Structure 1
Amino acid sequence: MPGSVPSSLDNWWCDTSSEYAFVGFSYAVDACQSLDTLKREFKDIRNTFNGRYVRLYGACDKKGFYDNVVDAAWDAGIGVHALIWFGFDGGNIYKTRRDSLFNTLKSNPKAKFVTRVVQYGSEPLFDHVLPAKELAKEVESAKATLSNLRIPVTVSELSFGYTQPGQDKAGAMAVLKAIDFVDAHILPLFAGGASTAKNAWGNVMGDIKWFSENSGGKKIYLSENGWPSVKGQGNINPQSRTAVANVENEKDYFDMLDSKCSDLKAVKGGGVGWFAHLYSDSQGMGYGIYGTNGKLKFPFKPRTSC
């Protein structure tokens, strides 16, 4: 980062066509990590793994927390995919979180220089947290509010969230039309007929193709993306009896994405960038690259280009 905050966003962000292959980690913030922890772990993401971005997951409602995220990201030289978290209990707390985030984006001079995109999530269409048409209006309103900051807006969602039975298809397509980028959830362990991670490419590419065709070729990020090392804990309950979840398959999944770098690069809209979900098992059992002991579960040196 420069020694002082720039006066303009002109030519600040790289073209999205350069953002394919591995781009960073999903990072859960329910623990309301301290500024020191955020700085240390964001620097680890940048320096150890060549991550460009941190994609926030969950919510911390502590006052000033996003200011800490901004400071840590600036210090580490990393960007943030911010998140307005609906949660799983319904209600309108997302509005408070939205307004708090927007206030920080407007008041903190560094915020627009580290916040690459604002996401509504996670899986609001799949969970029916709002009628689809209302969610589309939320996105349009957020885009207007953030337009002078040049911060895009998206929704972090499964393809099935748009197409599931009972979904308002017109409303769901209005959401897909409104978003600036596509943030796709790719969790192939839960696909019907899932077996091992090495066999997951068809499911992954099927979802990518659906998003590309139905979004009109918008830029795609795999925002919540991975293969857990355990099942039967929390909500890790696959449909398929043949689905295998262990450390070997978690590693195999990311190795498979690495092997398909050229395919991801070739997708319309500037290629597909992917996040690893999650940074640590302390943030979500089974999905972390780091175990709860703070050590890597397997060697992780993903490709950032090809």
Structure 2
Amino acid sequence: MDGDVSGGFGAASLNLAIKPAVKSCYPALNFNKPSKLPADNSAWWCDSRDEFAFMGFSYEVTACQSLSQLRKDFKDIRTRFRGRYVRLYGACDTQGFYDDIITAAYENTLGVHALIWFGFNGDNVWMGRRDALFNTLLTNPTAPFVTRVVQFGSEPLFDNVLTPSELTAQVKAAESRLKSVRIPVTVSELAYGYQERGGAQNVLDAIDSINIHMLPFFSQNASTADQAWPLVLQDLDWFIAHGKGKKMYFDENGWPSVTSPGVQPNSPVAVADVANEQAYYELLDAHCEDLKQVVHGGIGWFAHIYSDDMEPGYGIYDTNGHLKFPFHPRTYC
């Protein structure tokens, strides 16, 4: 049986509620796919209160991978690493690409955290991506059984793409548009992205779950990954204090093995190497029970990112397709 503990790590008291054993549900590791999809997804998904520990990978799609490549990678995520989800990163604007994502994900019993990618050019291309994604979600019959959430991102507040009021309006409009297929909506963002906009409480109030960028390497107090737990708690406790009990995920979450022009520390003693990339995920595993105690069933976390081919330094695989370090994270505690 699982314990559902409400409150932050700094809470004076914890309220423990015992729940019954979890039944088979999508995309649990024990899920058996039916021969035919049900009429709707209202009883399809696992309860988010039962989702914690390692969830899967951020997976960049800028390369517009072929269906065969998606099938290969998604099978690897499910069978080798026991992943339950992929969280999309970047954008592929090829027509029908998200249909291929749906096909490969369902074949491999994976859920998808879909993403409306704003990019870094300050243009309105994201609007077309939004509309194309929504069209697929409303017309592909398998989409509601694979797409767990739609994210606006990545870091739209931190990058000043939209004001908090504009982003809130987009979230609410998306929730209304996707209500018929029961797909929730969130924003993929740093704690600092909210904080530098006065907390952006209107955005936090609008979203259905809180999808957090947890990148402690960039803290001004960063050193080595094994010392990063206080940095994780600092951001996490802020979200607990302002999130009003909503489910939380670490979606863009990791520690780089190398620096690059776009990945530079803000601390002179922050160390980027393979040993520290590994140590960060081992830190999360070591605190599995602590993370499970967070409000709404605990923190589910993703590894950012699947391969160095996607984003140098953050991959679990290097550019030659070899594991950079042993990676077998806990999916339960």
The 1-side partners of 2:34 and 2:67 are apart by 20
| Residue number among 43, 56, 62 corresponding to 1:11 in the alignment | 43
Residue pair 2:210, 2:246 contacting (<8 A) in 1 also: yes
For 1:214, the equivalent position in structure 2 comes to 242
Q: What pairs with 1:123-272 in structure 2 (closer than 5 Å)?
A: 123-164=155-196, 167=197, 169=198, 172-231=200-259, 233-272=260-299
The 1-side partners of 2:119 and 2:322 are apart by 29
- Residue 7 of structure 1 deviates from its aligned partner by 1.3
For 2:27, the equivalent position in structure 1 comes to none
| 2:122 aligned with 1:90 | yes
For 1:77, the equivalent position in structure 2 comes to 109
SS, match of residue 142 in structure 1: helix
Residue pair 1:5, 1:109 contacting (<8 A) in 2 also: no
Aligned CA RMSD, in angstroms, stands at 0.8
| 2:330 aligned with 1:303 | yes
Residue pair 1:212, 1:268 contacting (<8 A) in 2 also: yes
Q: What pairs with 1:22-33 in structure 2 (closer than 5 Å)?
A: 22-33=54-65
Residue pair 1:56, 1:81 contacting (<8 A) in 2 also: yes
Residue pair 2:213, 2:252 contacting (<8 A) in 1 also: yes
- Residue 148 of structure 1 deviates from its aligned partner by 1.0
- Residue 6 of structure 1 deviates from its aligned partner by 2.0
Higher mean alpha-carbon deviation, 84-93 vs 1-10, is at 1-10
Q: How far does the alpha carbon of each residue in 1:31-84 deviate from its partner, in whole angstroms, 9 at most, with x for none?
A: 000000001101110111110000000000000000000000011110000000
Q: How far does the alpha carbon of each residue in 1:102-142 deviate from its partner, in whole angstroms, 9 at most, with x for none?
A: 00001100000000000000000000001110000000000
For 2:305, the equivalent position in structure 1 comes to 278
Higher helix share: 1
Residue pair 1:281, 1:288 contacting (<8 A) in 2 also: yes
Aligned AA (1:299): P
- Residue 2 of structure 1 deviates from its aligned partner by 2.3
For 1:294, the equivalent position in structure 2 comes to 321
Aligned residues: 301
Percentage identity across paired residues of the two chains: 57
The 2-side partners of 1:193 and 1:8 are apart by 48
Q: Which runs of 5+ in 2 are unaligned?
A: 1-32
Q: Which runs of 4+ in 1 moved over 4 A?
A: none
